[in-house]
Structure 1
Amino acid sequence: MLKKNKVEHIFFDLDHTLWDFDKNSALTFDFLFKKHEVNTKLADFLKFYEPINLKYWKLYRDEKVSKDNLRYNRLKETFDALQFSIEDDLINTISEDYINHLSSFNHVFDGTIELLDYLKTKYNLHIITNGFKEAQNNKLKGSKLDHYFTTVTSAEVAGVKKPNPQIFNFALKLANANSANSIMIGDNYEADILGALDIGLDAICFNYHKATISPEIKVVNHLLDIKKYL
């Protein structure tokens, strides 16, 4: 159990933690495939796309691909895996449209609003995200989550990505907080949890991916279970 009087600042990841990325992404692709007459089954596309997308985000975190390469290659590799013939120009168009339309859909995980209402009266709430600044701000506004958070730190603003310690230190400084009075909550074991723990920041893993997590780590399977820690 955390010392409840010790924590003053809570830092959340956004995608796959509060904002239901997979659901909103699927709705976006459904819209775009109809718009551009891409005749492939959405379920088949997503079966390949979701792990490929996670792979490219890890490469992006590790500075092995650029933002543009991530956006194009995750689609190209998925269509190739489907053996679906599509022109590069259309892939680039879908890639651009995807970013523009993704925040049109704003489903959040069950318990998000109740949890934030519960925490807002007791703690200062913040976001640390590897997502692109403009897209993340649009997601926060579209889902009406923006008013809960005092600061939003994106990798583009910090200049590095989680789990790099610099982004956590940047966020702590922006929030006028320190590792001793703060905690990180996120879904990604490497980026959110280990990244936070490496700088002495406590952490809770929202195990959205149903991964096997070390028993030493605080883990919840539903967002409202966070109440038992805070």
Structure 2
Amino acid sequence: MTMNKKDITHIFFDLDHTLWDFDKNSALAFETIFKKFEVNIALEQFLSVYEPINLGYWKLYREEKVTKTALRRGRLNDTFSKLNLSYSVTMIDALAEDYINALPLHNHLITGAEDILLYLSQKYTLHIITNGFKEVQGLKLKASGIEHYFETMTNSDEVGVKKPNRLIFDTALQSAGAQCENSIMIGDNYEADVLGAEDIGLRAICYNYHNETIPEHIVQVAHLKEIKELL
């Protein structure tokens, strides 16, 4: 599928699962903190339970149904409970804090991320819109070596709402000096990135990282390199 690209001057990217390999980096962060805190469980077993729970909490977080603290605690506590392990709130909070600190120490990118950023940056002005925690998103960009590609970063923590809320997209456009008519959003989450963008009249490309079934009319790619055929 092709799209009219002649009027596009600004591209807004999601970060986690779109450019920054959250799954790989998260696994490495857990490996680090499990050693530190002597959590005696196989990493693969933990992650198989944790990952769907984490996605569920992020959905609740986007919908303003849980706080940041509840997300950080709940996803760990629920996972350990399913694995018949029990830790104090103090221990859970310590694990959660160290996990956040360890995340930006591992900075693998999604395959093709730097190549597509180099390609697009020669033709468009690039930006980030992220629901991730403000204390780590900037560190991820800098440590992974892609910070210089982006003119602005709009973070849900700073705006006070999360994608797909209209306000975060409006804020990002205003910060970038961009309009819906000359911009496009690229992200992995159909609900947050695609529907959120379309709700304000912003075109979107879904990087279908999770291999989900989404409506056929949505422009989507299975690999980042395919964006070159669209833009």
TM-fit CA distance, 1:5: 1.7
| 3-state SS of 1:125 partner | strand
Percent same amino acid at aligned positions?
59
Query: Aligned runs of 1:7-18 on 2, under 5 Å?
Result: 7-18=8-19
Structure 1: gaps of 5 or more residues: none
What is the letter of the counterpart of residue 200 of structure 2?
A: I
Structure 1 residue 117 corresponds to structure 2 residue 114: no
Query: Aligned runs of 1:121-132 on 2, under 5 Å?
Result: 121-132=122-133
TM-fit CA distance, 1:89: 1.8
Query: Aligned runs of 1:68-147 on 2, under 5 Å?
Result: 68-147=69-148
Tell me the distance in 2 between the aligned counterparts of 1:89 and 1:157: 27
Can you list the C-alpha shifts for 1:109-133, whole angstroms capped at 9, x where unaligned?
Answer: 1101110000001000000000111
TM-fit CA distance, 1:85: 2.7
What is the letter of the counterpart of residue 84 of structure 1?
A: L
| 3-state SS of 2:28 partner | helix
What is the letter of the counterpart of residue 55 of structure 2?
A: L
What is the letter of the counterpart of residue 74 of structure 1?
A: R
What is the letter of the counterpart of residue 228 of structure 2?
A: K
Equivalent pairs, count: 230
Q: Give me the CA root mean square deviation.
A: 0.7
What is the letter of the counterpart of residue 106 of structure 2?
A: F
What is the letter of the counterpart of residue 5 of structure 1?
A: K
Which residue does the alignment assign to 1:185?
A: 186
Which residue does the alignment assign to 2:199?
A: 198
Tell me the distance in 2 between the aligned counterparts of 1:133 and 1:35: 25
| 3-state SS of 1:163 partner | coil
Tell me the distance in 2 between the aligned counterparts of 1:88 and 1:199: 41
What is the letter of the counterpart of residue 152 of structure 1?
A: M
Query: Aligned runs of 1:52-67 on 2, under 5 Å?
Result: 52-67=53-68
| 3-state SS of 1:139 partner | helix
Give TM-score scaled by structure 2 length.
0.98
TM-fit CA distance, 1:158: 1.4
Which residue does the alignment assign to 1:153?
A: 154
Which residue does the alignment assign to 1:214?
A: 215
Can you list the C-alpha shifts for 1:85-126, whole angstroms capped at 9, x where unaligned?
Answer: 323221111001011111000000110111000000100000
